[in-house]
Structure 1
Amino acid sequence: MKKRVSTLILLSILALVSCKKEEKKVVEKKQESVKVFEPNWESIKKHYKDPAWFNNKKFGIFIHWGAYSVPAFGSEWYPRNMYMDSAQFTAQLKHQKDGPSKEFLHHQKNFGDQKKFGYKDFIPMFKAEKFNAEEWIDLFKKAGAKYVVPVADHHDGFAMYKSNTTRWNSVNMGPKRDVLGELMKAGRAKGMIMGASSHYAFNWSFYNKKDKFDTTDPAYADLYSPKGKNLREPVSAEFKEMWWKRTKDLIDNYQPDILWFDFMLDTPDFREYRPKLAAYYYNKGIEWGKEVVLQDKNFYEEAFPAGTVIYDLERGKLPGIRKLPWQTDTSIGTNSWSYVTNWKSKTTNSLIDDLIDIVSKNGNLLLNVGPKSDGTIPDDQKDILLEMGAWLDMNGDAIYDTKYWRTFGEGPTEVKKGHHSEGKNKAFTGQDIRFTQKDGKVYAILMAWPKNGKVLIKSITNDDKVKSVKMLGTDAKIKWSQNNNGLEVVMPKKKPCDYAFVLELSL
């Protein structure tokens, strides 16, 4: 009996040792696998492939929300502009005359001297008492969005998450809640793809440093940055290392599916960190077992070589098809990304037209909302999101999971190219048409209702054997004919919706 027990014990020990060895092999193999990407462009170009899932989702929500929502004046750059007291700085502001900025004057009138009441003093006022992550996610789902990208930290230096690298974060101060974490949890529970954006690199030179402001007080250098008073002081090695630790903290603890970066990362100051970031994040994606998306503007130089990240355009579009996936980020607000009391919303029609135009050119739309400081999303923004969602419920077949066609569209209205070009674009007409395709069908999307009740689609030639034509959202029989000039379609008597109109062509 003793011999049998001893044998069983020995066998158990051997089995345990064997299991431990196997576990060690698995861990070692996993560790090897996450080192696919090396921190150089040759390695990244060799191994990187744009995730197909991103190109299929088409529509996401951006969220600019932070302590800058408390003054609710100017824009999310209030923290910078409230210290702009002279022409030296205001010259950097568009449409701003020499002298103090409007934010500087507003601050002194409403909050007092910037030495006694600085930006830091807004943080205790940022309480987010009505913030409900699940309600936000429900709204975004109703809007038809497939992914959400909250701002994790803006130029102001305040982290909207539980940071392990700065005391200036939403768990320690202000709301005393992990805003990003709550949104991540609520979004993922409801099938949303969740990302995060980092604007922190520009924190280095975001604030004007003068002795008459609190920005030079060393007690707050970890919020206002350790930069000195010299406007041209290059980014220090210590700050860049802090940026890197902060970025890794965000990646490691929240595992964002999408990681979006603002313009400062594109500058020469951060050149050595860009391949380091891409390799680290892509390897983490492999470790997590998912394809992740890194987004950048390539604002000042080709910071990230083509085909190594998803290209992003701020408040601008492309005039034609880009075969590599890309994205436009823009705001519902024409005058701000964060909530301001004089917020001006775009029209639902213009935003739906933007979405269609972008998708026809192989892009995605990341549309920003600006909640109030208490955590409520204003009704005018809600209404627009719900109207977009209703349109997508009816016409989403022409948007989601589609590919670009042989031409993006036709019509007289041209689209301007580049960052911050949206203000130069004209409204689309009934002669403007955009195309997408999926599952053997081509979708011809009319950007407005044709004036004479019929439309000629010139891009559909005699070589395209049209079998049937229907309009999404209606059972009305569509009259059509095909000739040498194209496909002529007679519109139904009643519009199926209030905005763009989709013809589904079976070829």
Structure 2
Amino acid sequence: MIGDQKAYAIEITVANGLPSALSADPRFWVKSPLYVSYDSSSFRTVQMGIIHRIMPSDEVRVKVWAVPTQPGYQTVLGGSSAITVIDARGDIVVQQAEVPTTLASSERYDTPEWWDDAKFGIFIHWGVFSVPGWGPVGRYTEWYDWWLHADGKSSESWNYHRDMYGEDFVYDDFIPQFTASKFNASEWVHLFANAGAKYFVLVTKHHDGFALFDTANSTHRSSYHLGPKRDFVKELFASAKSERPGLHRGTYYSMPEWFNPDAGSYGFGNWPGHLARSPYNNKLEPYTGRIEGKDYLQEIQLAHMMALAKDYETEIMWCDIGGPNLTVQFAREWYPYAESQGRQVIMNNRCGALPQFDTPEYARFSSIQNGKWETSEGIDPYSYGYNRRTKAEDYRSASTIITTLVDIVSKNGNYLLNIGPTGEGEIIKPMVDRLLEVGKWLAHSGECIYGTDYFFLGAESGDIRFTRTPTTFCIIALSRPQNGMLVVQKSVPVLPGDEIELLGAGEDGRRLHQENRKV
């Protein structure tokens, strides 16, 4: 909103088309503020974008805020339109009329501004699978039930389960052991905030079909009806909303379920949708809490997603796997509903339709991406879910997490770092320690992470990464410079007379460098 008007952000890229060979001459730089507007038969600008600096061959992106000139929820970009750039005196520097534009649709959404600026979030994989908390090295422990049935006789999973629990112990026998006796919603949200995260995403239902919220009468396979009989989504969201209101709240939701018979007609691949058979005696295993006669897509999947959207007011719908879905139907309700409440919401590319961002998993892009993306991976280098086999020294170090975050942000991405609590709901000390170390770094250097954009001329130079804001340019070294000197072998938007500040140096460090702050 701009004042009392609902405004739309129109992103405009402005380039200095002069060749990079002229970068050494400040006369060819844009050094004084320029103001950008967009006006058409459908929109008028209410807040201009501001450009402070562009070096030759560089580009910067600005957001122009505009309001519709015609009433109605759906407004069309285009028609008679123009982009105008003026200087501080109001003189037109450049104007481009009849700008080619794209139709804006109520079923096509950009990422919210808060998500673009947030950069860093916490993923939480927690559920019944956290009780055994075990998996073969290099595998996801949250897939415990699947590995047990899919790996076959005498596999590592098969042997481990038999030796630890016995051949007659089925996966659903873990449900009463999912006590969450150490879960403290307030402690969790304060930890996330102190880690420097701006949002979190809680696994509300994984592929085993066990939910952490009140599933009403769609199914009773949930922590609200079974086990601890608590609504953990409600508890965590309420704590975040009241104690850390700046921390955005998101929900992971698995679209299919491995062994739910209601999903049988929609089954595929590793999600067949039929009851599991014991890997030891071939007997059918129960699907505890299931209510028979439900249409999986309409009465379970869509019902759950709508509940998370409306009853719990999730801001992020982080789907997994995809497959058969009713996502378009969901989105047609969710987006207008959230907008009517003044909330900006977002959905990933795994919901099956209308993706707003890509989701590489335990991987990241090696170069700048124009589209928004988010890497997710665990502090555990092999698993999202808690794995009791992982030694404290094997978890990703704070230094590794920070350098990964910097690299991702420099390439226009977000970083969703996962923790795996135990079945009791404890976030173990090695994870806590690393999160707090990351938070300590972000406390003094976060201005080069939050709210930044990428550097058009390249995200990196050797062990250096670049980010920018409208008024600053950040040079981040991923390793300590040798001989106390950082050498940047790349043209960057820095001019004689600019001041350089060493973030995190403290007042003593800043005074120490005072004489050398001018470029």
Q: TM exceeds 0.5?
A: yes
CA shift for structure 1 position 465:
4.4
Q: Deviations over 1:153-200 (max 9, x none)?
A: 000100011111210111111121111111101111112111101014
Is 1:80 paired with 2:163? no
- Is contact 1:68–1:338 with CA below 8 Å preserved after alignment? yes
In the other structure, the counterpart of 1:258 is: 316
> 2:211, 2:441 → 1: CA distance?
35
Q: How many residues align?
A: 396
In the other structure, the counterpart of 1:112 is: 166
**What are the residue-to-residue correspondences of 1:36-185 with 2, within 5 Å?**
44=105, 48-74=109-135, 75-86=141-152, 99-113=153-167, 116-164=168-216, 165-185=218-238
CA shift for structure 1 position 245:
2.2
In the other structure, the counterpart of 1:240 is: 297
TM-score by length of 2: 0.70
- Is contact 2:368–2:459 with CA below 8 Å preserved after alignment? no
Call closer, same or farther: CA 1:128–1:411 in 2, change over 3 Å.
same
> 2:492, 2:449 → 1: CA distance?
23
Is 1:199 paired with 2:249? no
- Is contact 2:170–2:285 with CA below 8 Å preserved after alignment? no
Q: Any stretches of 5+ residues in structure 1 without a counterpart?
A: 1-31, 37-41, 87-98, 227-236, 413-431, 482-504
* DSSP-derived class of the 1:452 partner: helix
- Is contact 1:402–1:437 with CA below 8 Å preserved after alignment? yes
- Is contact 1:209–1:216 with CA below 8 Å preserved after alignment? no
> 1:133, 1:126 → 2: CA distance?
16
Is 1:336 paired with 2:369? no
Q: Deviations over 1:354-396 (max 9, x none)?
A: 1001111111111100111111110000000000000001111
- Is contact 1:334–1:345 with CA below 8 Å preserved after alignment? yes
Letter of the 1:256 partner, please give it. T
CA shift for structure 1 position 240:
2.5
RMSD, matched Cα: 3.2
Call closer, same or farther: CA 1:187–1:35 in 2, change over 3 Å.
farther
- Is contact 2:120–2:415 with CA below 8 Å preserved after alignment? yes
Counterpart pick for 2:329 among 257, 276, 282: 276
> 2:131, 2:278 → 1: CA distance?
23
- Is contact 1:34–1:284 with CA below 8 Å preserved after alignment? no
Counterpart pick for 1:357 among 372, 386, 407: 407
- Is contact 2:122–2:419 with CA below 8 Å preserved after alignment? yes
Q: Any stretches of 5+ residues in structure 2 without a counterpart?
A: 1-70, 76-102, 136-140, 264-270
In the other structure, the counterpart of 1:489 is: none
Letter of the 2:450 partner, please give it. Y
Identity of aligned residues (%): 30
Call closer, same or farther: CA 1:282–1:223 in 2, change over 3 Å.
same
- Is contact 1:80–1:207 with CA below 8 Å preserved after alignment? no
- Is contact 1:34–1:287 with CA below 8 Å preserved after alignment? no
Call closer, same or farther: CA 1:479–1:64 in 2, change over 3 Å.
same
Call closer, same or farther: CA 1:477–1:409 in 2, change over 3 Å.
farther
* DSSP-derived class of the 1:368 partner: strand
> 1:218, 1:77 → 2: CA distance?
17
In the other structure, the counterpart of 1:401 is: 451
Q: Which deviates more from structure 2 when the two are superposed, residues 191-200 or residues 133-142?
A: 191-200
Call closer, same or farther: CA 1:210–1:455 in 2, change over 3 Å.
closer
In the other structure, the counterpart of 2:479 is: 448
- Is contact 2:194–2:439 with CA below 8 Å preserved after alignment? yes
Is 1:319 paired with 2:366? yes
In the other structure, the counterpart of 1:18 is: none
> 2:112, 2:459 → 1: CA distance?
25
> 1:455, 1:109 → 2: CA distance?
56
Q: Which deviates more from structure 2 when the two are superposed, residues 378-387 or residues 200-209?
A: 200-209
Call closer, same or farther: CA 1:452–1:297 in 2, change over 3 Å.
farther
CA shift for structure 1 position 350:
1.0
Letter of the 2:205 partner, please give it. D
In the other structure, the counterpart of 2:439 is: 389
CA shift for structure 1 position 48:
2.2
> 2:434, 2:111 → 1: CA distance?
31
CA shift for structure 1 position 332:
0.5
> 1:215, 1:284 → 2: CA distance?
47
> 1:172, 1:215 → 2: CA distance?
28
In the other structure, the counterpart of 2:49 is: none
**What are the residue-to-residue correspondences of 1:440-479 with 2, within 5 Å?**
440-460=471-491, 464-465=495-496, 467-474=498-505, 475-478=510-513
Call closer, same or farther: CA 1:358–1:197 in 2, change over 3 Å.
same
- Bigger proportion of residues as helix: 1
TM-score by length of 1: 0.71
Letter of the 2:504 partner, please give it. G
Letter of the 2:253 partner, please give it. S
> 1:359, 1:259 → 2: CA distance?
21
Letter of the 1:369 partner, please give it. I
> 1:401, 1:132 → 2: CA distance?
30
In the other structure, the counterpart of 2:427 is: 377
- Is contact 1:208–1:215 with CA below 8 Å preserved after alignment? no
- Is contact 2:209–2:257 with CA below 8 Å preserved after alignment? no
> 1:218, 1:181 → 2: CA distance?
30
> 2:241, 2:276 → 1: CA distance?
44
In the other structure, the counterpart of 1:188 is: 241
> 2:166, 2:409 → 1: CA distance?
48
Q: Deviations over 1:404-456 (max 9, x none)?
A: 122343334xxxxxxxxxxxxxxxxxxx1111112411000011112232122
- Is contact 1:171–1:177 with CA below 8 Å preserved after alignment? yes
> 1:324, 1:356 → 2: CA distance?
18
Call closer, same or farther: CA 1:506–1:63 in 2, change over 3 Å.
farther
